Amino acid sequence: MKKVLLLLVVIAGVVAATASLAAVTRVVAIRPAGFAPVTRTIQTGDSIRWRNDDTVNHQVVADNGHFASPVLRPRQSYTRVFNTAGRFPYRDALEPAERGVIVVQGPPPSVSIALSQGVVFYGAGIRLTGFVSSGAPNQRVEIWGRPYYQASFQKVADVLTVAAGGYDWTTVPQTYSFFQARWGNRQSAIVSVGVRPRITLIRRAPWFVTSARVGTPLAGHWVYVQRRSSLNQWVNIKKVRIGSSGARRFKLDLRPGRHILRMFMTTNQAGPGLLWSHSRTIVVRKRR
């Protein structure tokens, strides 16, 4: 009896050790100088934990839409499991010059999927592309989608593969959405795309005019006028409420000199299923 119990204990120990070796979590530190290390190589089933070691906010976003973290405050972290082999370049959405790469080694997926962009402004289209492992043309691939407000995935398109087993499909997301490709009983990874309200800023001296919309005008929502400081940071200088028409005219009291301006909307003001947004920048020179 003692031998049986001892054998069971040994087996349990081996199983636990194997499970612990089967999947690991690697850390990527987010520092003032960027991601450390810039490139991380892991195996399928492993996880990456991005840890904000900086004193300012950061946000990790994959170039192909495979993952996007929330805004990470100092000392916060974001963890993602990688079950699909491949190379996943990413960037800091708040500091786009800071970039990194996750390399996942392992068997290739049976059907793959990628987005042309992980975040778009409202009204912009995205392309979903991928391959089936057979490399054969005329294979039917189903595209399944789930918008933010929808509880489950629904089929949104059927596409046929072309040479090398590739497929290509274009859509215009209305809100934060998830997509997956299915080929027979095989499923791809799930990718997501975020949508920002479309915000404009123009100058019609002595006025400035801004607008914000996503399907319908965002009347009553607040936006901020931001000026880029000498330290290359965006500073709020005025709060503006969008009018009933979806636009607002306002004036700014600027000191003499050169100013780089834009409009900014927070995630809370953008609303459910939408991301924070900003307009294009404009340059204003005010004479003495």
- What the block records as the tokens of 109 is 């997926």
Integer Cα distance of 283 and 260 in angstroms: 5
pLDDT-derived band of residue 109, with 50, 70 and 90 as boundaries?
A: low
What number is the average pLDDT over the span 184-212?
Answer: 95
What number is the average pLDDT over the span 20-43?
Answer: 89
| Residue 162 Ramachandran class (φ > 0 left, ψ -120 to 50 alpha, else beta) | beta
19 compared with 265, residue with greater pLDDT: 265
The backbone torsions φ and ψ at residue 112, rounded to the nearest 5 degrees and listed phi first, read -110, 165
The chain-wide mean pLDDT, for the chain, equals: 90
- CATH H-level superfamily of 197-286: Immunoglobulins (2.60.40.10)
* Domain residue ranges in the chain: 26-106, 108-195, 197-286
pLDDT-derived band of residue 86, with 50, 70 and 90 as boundaries?
A: confident
The percent of residues above 70 in pLDDT, for the chain, comes to 91
Task: Produce one character per residue of 43-78: b if its CB has 16 or more CB atoms within 10 Å, e if not.
Answer: ebebebebbbebeebbbbbbbbbbbbbebbeeeeeb
- Give the CATH number of domain 26-106: 2.60.40.420
Q: What is the pTM of this model?
A: 0.69
Q: Within 13 Å, how many C-alpha atoms sit on residue 105's CB side?
A: 4
- What the block records as the tokens of 180 is 């997956």
Q: Does the pLDDT at position 283 exceed 90?
A: yes
Integer Cα distance of 277 and 214 in angstroms: 11
**Choice among 29-33, 64-68, 157-161 with the minimum mean pLDDT:** 64-68
pLDDT-derived band of residue 215, with 50, 70 and 90 as boundaries?
A: confident
pLDDT on residue 22: 57
- What the block records as the tokens of 222 is 């607040």
Let me know if the fold of 26-106 is the same as that of 108-195.
yes
The DSSP symbol for 163 reads G
**Choice among 1-15, 89-103, 191-205, 235-249 with the minimum mean pLDDT:** 1-15
Indicate the pairing of strand 234-241 with strand 222-228.
antiparallel
- Give the CATH number of domain 108-195: 2.60.40.2470
| Chain centroid to CA 189 | 15
